[in-house]
Amino acid sequence: MEWVEFPLHATEGFYHGFIRVKLVRVTGMNPQNAILSAILVIMLIILASPLQTSSPRGDVLQRVDVDNSPYIFPITDYIVSGNIPWNHDCSNTTGFTYNDSWNITWTPWNIVNATLASDGSVLSISNIPTGTYYHGPMFEYALPETFKVEDLLNFSILLSADNSLTSYVGYQAVILGDADRNPVMFASFSDGWTDSSQGAYGVSYVYTNGSYLSYGSGYPVTWTSFDGSMALRYNESEGLMGYIEGIGGSIVTTLSEADRTREIHYVAIAAARRDTSLLFPMLVDEITIEYQSSTPEPALATISEPNDIEYEAGNGPNVIQWEIFNFTAATYNVSRNGSLVRSGIMNSSSLTVSVDNLDPGVYGYTVGVNGTEGEMVNDSVIVRVFDSTMPLIGPPSDSLYELGSTGNTISWDVSDLYPDEYFIYLDDVEIYHDSWLDDPIVFSIDGLDLGYSNFTLEVHDNYTNSAIDSVIVSVVDTTPPVLEGPTDRVIELGPTDEGLSWYISDLRPYVYELYLNDTLEETGSWIVGNLTYNLLDSTLLGIYNYTIIVVDTSGNHASDTVIVSIEDTIPPVLEGPEDMTIKIGTANAILSWYISDLQPNTYNVYLNGTLVTTGSWVTGNLTYTLPANLLVGHYNFTIIAYDSSRNFASDSVFVSVSDPFFTTLWYLVIIFLAIGAFVSTIFIIRRKGLAPFKSTLSTGIEFGPKDDGLRTLKPVSDDIAKALMEERESISERVREESEKRMSEFDGSDS
């Protein structure tokens, strides 16, 4: 048993409804019942046939009678392979969900949630919260299949709306929408006046730009209620057509290609309450959608045709993906520029081939696929690989190094897929050229002169791409000259051939200045090596500061100071006369000393340790006249000569004053006493038996003067010689003590 719908025609030949006939299949029917059933079917077909067959498809719809069934457009003439129906009888809310992402542009409102309910027969929206302006919910239903606007055979809604109460306002609609939830077409009711029953209702189409066109009651009109059908459909020759029960039907609008091909994904029920006013009630009794679906021709075995590929060398991933349609693939082979690069068994309807890592060039990839039933398909794709990427240079920082240092380099990190050659320029002049790999380029920059130099690297790859980088190299001279000086020294007063020598070294010698006690003594240029300053004279005592300052051409300098002390540590040269003997009463006897020194000062003459004269002296002979009243005896004349540095020299001269008569007598007495002493001694020895008797003569030696001034030997007794030596030592001691006393007085004096 099944229902069969037969469209009904009005007297003018327009469809306005349908008859549902339930066919019952009865087994074992007798012939009479079978005949009656056949007659009934034939009569129903005749009733369902149009009374005027000349009615053209797509004329303006005209409602002839009103009932409570959804209006059904005539679809028979437009079915290619059959209509695909979707129907919701509104006995429940199954499939509808709230969604606030719809784009409502013609009557903007804030989408807020509310309640969609069914009483088992109709759907209605309620419980919209109060708010400002229009606000309310959107409840959507995702259609199981999508279709295009041009395939729409029937979108009809059976519904009712009550606008009899003047305090009820708002907006309600049933909408078809696209994948982005943009309304495409809808049936709606609206009332924006709270003091009267005014507004509009009708069916509308929304263009892709958001504007819309409606067919319906107009706006505003006074209306209190609606209970019936609204419908939309597309007619290929005339466009979108609309129908409103009680008004009739009309062409809503013609559609462009872009509008005709829009896809319908959703059906939605929407309502908007205005401010705090009550929303007039609307009940949706049934929603029906029908659209055509052509049965395609049996598809031929095909393969997709991917676009040609063009990519930068080194970029990826790059793949060709072929899709197999309408047959089961078995094997495949892929060739590149005529050479087989890949083959195998197909495990799916898709084949992906990587075309990465190709050198720049043009490549033709051809695929052939064989099916299990003998099908064969092929396709070709052109792959163009180009290299427009400049070599990559990791630029080093600008460089600075000290003049004369070594091991200075510039290192460029360079990379490219296809390196070729590089050039190095110094201040725009090519100085080096070589091939390079994908490695750092290291270049020595030693040996530059002071200043700035511009080193430029230019690299090329095999595909005319190039890159450059410049590095500024600064060579500076901040190193002072090397200066090695002599140690401090002490120089004896007097002329000298000593000098001060400094070793100086620098890459850029310039000038020097030599200061003596802060006074510029000498200046000039210098070269690497020893610089000597001769100390030609050192006749002035003192401490001298010799400071040398050497400068290079960069203004770097070094200095060294040498302290030279000129001292006088050498005592005067003192040459005295020989000891002498004079006769008593001799007048004008002279002692003469030769004294020499660079700094003559004073002298003292002592007689047996007693100062007898003093004075200053100069280099040469200094004479002293002996007193004429000297008695017979021995006298020690000592001279001490001082220089300005308190160095001194001394000399003693022994003068003997004699009387010739007493001298001879004295010699005889001495001889006699000596002989007596000798004889007595021998006698005593023999008497005691100590030794045999033996006569011996013993003599002593005494130094005495000669007329020629030279020392001569003169025999004296031992006792006399001993007495003379003791007297001499005593005199020398007194002279020494007197000298020290004079020296201490000299130290405290201003001289």
Write the DSSP string, 582-619. EETT--S-EEEEEEE-SSEEEEEEEETTEEEEEEE--S
How many angstroms separate the CA atoms of 608 and 637, rounded? 6
Q: 735 falls in which pLDDT band (50, 70, 90)?
A: low
Top mean pLDDT of 12-26, 488-502, 519-533 is at 519-533
Q: Are 190 and 200 in contact (CB under 8 A)?
A: yes
Q: Are 694 and 682 in contact (CB under 8 A)?
A: yes
Cα atoms in the Cβ-side hemisphere of radius 13 Å centred on 31: 0
Distances (CA, A) of 90 to 117, 143, 265, 288, 567: 9, 15, 19, 11, 134
Pick the more confident residue, 424 or 670.
Answer: 424
The tokens describing 523, both together, are 């200046």
What pLDDT, in 10s, does the model give residues 241-272?
Answer: 999 998 899 998 989 999 999 999 999 999 99
How many angstroms separate the CA atoms of 132 and 271, rounded? 14
pLDDT of 34 higher than 50: no
Q: What pLDDT is stored for residue 531 in this prediction?
A: 92
Q: What pLDDT is stored for residue 537 in this prediction?
A: 67
What does DSSP say about strands 399-402 and 466-476: parallel, antiparallel, or unpaired? parallel
Q: Are 85 and 147 in contact (CB under 8 A)?
A: no
Q: Are 420 and 432 in contact (CB under 8 A)?
A: no
Tell me how far apart the terminal alpha carbons of the chain are, to the nearest angstrom.
Answer: 162
Mean pLDDT for the stretch of residues 433-458: 93
Q: Are 198 and 128 in contact (CB under 8 A)?
A: no
How many angstroms separate the CA atoms of 414 and 404, rounded? 29
> Poorest-confidence range of 168-177, 515-524, 716-725?
716-725
Q: What pLDDT is stored for residue 712 in this prediction?
A: 33
* DSSP run (H or E) holding 723: helix 718-748
What pLDDT, in 10s, does the model give residues 404-414?
Answer: 999 999 999 99
Q: What pLDDT is stored for residue 682 in this prediction?
A: 74
Instruction: Write the single-letter amino acid at 86.
Output: W
Q: What are phi and psi of 49, to 5 degrees?
A: -75, 145
Q: What pLDDT is stored for residue 33 in this prediction?
A: 42
What pLDDT, in 10s, does the model give residues 365-385?
Answer: 999 999 998 899 999 999 999
Q: Are 415 and 440 in contact (CB under 8 A)?
A: no
The tokens describing 6, both together, are 């037969």
How many angstroms separate the CA atoms of 459 and 10, rounded? 88
How many angstroms separate the CA atoms of 746 and 751, rounded? 7
How many angstroms separate the CA atoms of 576 and 565, rounded? 32
Tell which residue, 173, 163, 157, has the closest CA to residue 193: 163
| Mean predicted lDDT score pLDDT of the chain | 82
Q: What pLDDT is stored for residue 186 in this prediction?
A: 95
| Cβ contacts of 423 within 8 Å, gap of 6 or more | 430, 432, 433, 457, 458
Tell which residue, 442, 431, 472, 475, has the closest CA to residue 454: 472
Determine how many CB atoms are found less than 10 A away from the CB of residue 443: 17
pLDDT of 79 higher than 50: no
Let me know how long the chain is.
751
Total-model pTM? 0.43
* Helix (H/G/I), strand (E/B), else coil: 443: strand
Q: Are 66 and 246 in contact (CB under 8 A)?
A: yes
pLDDT of 28 higher than 70: no
Instruction: Write the single-letter amino acid at 448.
Output: L
pLDDT of 27 higher than 50: no
pLDDT of 494 higher than 50: yes
> Poorest-confidence range of 298-312, 462-476, 627-641, 688-702?
688-702
The tokens describing 123, both together, are 């759907």
What is the percent of the chain with per-residue pLDDT over 90, rounded to a whole number?
61
How many angstroms separate the CA atoms of 518 and 359, rounded? 79
Q: Are 387 and 312 in contact (CB under 8 A)?
A: yes
Q: Are 11 and 51 in contact (CB under 8 A)?
A: yes
Quickly tell me which residue has 């001569």 as its tokens.
712
Pick the more confident residue, 736 or 238.
Answer: 238
In the sheet with 557-567, reading across from the earlier edge strand, the strands are 489-492, 557-567, 542-552, 509-516, 519-525
Pick the more confident residue, 55 or 558.
Answer: 558
Burial of residue 539, with CB atoms counted within 10 A of its CB: 0-12 exposed, 13-18 middle, 19 or more buried: exposed
Distances (CA, A) of 349 to 304, 372, 375, 468: 11, 12, 14, 50
How many angstroms separate the CA atoms of 98 and 128, rounded? 13
What pLDDT, in 10s, does the model give residues 269-298?
Answer: 999 999 999 999 999 999 999 998 755 556
> Poorest-confidence range of 206-210, 675-679, 696-700?
696-700
Top mean pLDDT of 103-112, 217-226, 307-316 is at 307-316
Q: What pLDDT is stored for residue 744 in this prediction?
A: 60
* Helix (H/G/I), strand (E/B), else coil: 35: helix
Q: What are phi and psi of 738, to 5 degrees?
A: -65, -35
Pick the more confident residue, 401 or 710.
Answer: 401
What is the percent of the chain with per-residue pLDDT over 70, rounded to a whole number?
78
Q: 45 falls in which pLDDT band (50, 70, 90)?
A: very low
How many angstroms separate the CA atoms of 349 and 347, rounded? 7
Burial of residue 547, with CB atoms counted within 10 A of its CB: 0-12 exposed, 13-18 middle, 19 or more buried: middle
Mean pLDDT for the stretch of residues 564-590: 92
What pLDDT, in 10s, does the model give residues 133-184?
Answer: 999 999 999 999 999 999 999 999 999 999 888 888 999 999 999 999 999 9
pLDDT of 644 higher than 80: yes
How many angstroms separate the CA atoms of 422 and 431, rounded? 11
Q: Are 1 and 51 in contact (CB under 8 A)?
A: no
- In sequence order, the β-bridge partners of residue 413 are 394
Q: Are 342 and 334 in contact (CB under 8 A)?
A: yes
Q: What pLDDT is stored for residue 444 in this prediction?
A: 96
Q: What pLDDT is stored for residue 106 in this prediction?
A: 78
Q: What pLDDT is stored for residue 669 in this prediction?
A: 74
* Helix (H/G/I), strand (E/B), else coil: 145: strand
What does DSSP say about strands 302-303 and 339-345: parallel, antiparallel, or unpaired? unpaired
Q: 515 falls in which pLDDT band (50, 70, 90)?
A: very high
Mean pLDDT for the stretch of residues 45-68: 32
Determine how many CB atoms are found less than 10 A away from the CB of residue 399: 17
Tell which residue, 634, 639, 636, has the closest CA to residue 575: 639
Q: 332 falls in which pLDDT band (50, 70, 90)?
A: very high
How many angstroms separate the CA atoms of 488 and 504, rounded? 18
Quickly tell me which residue has 């890159």 as its tokens.
467
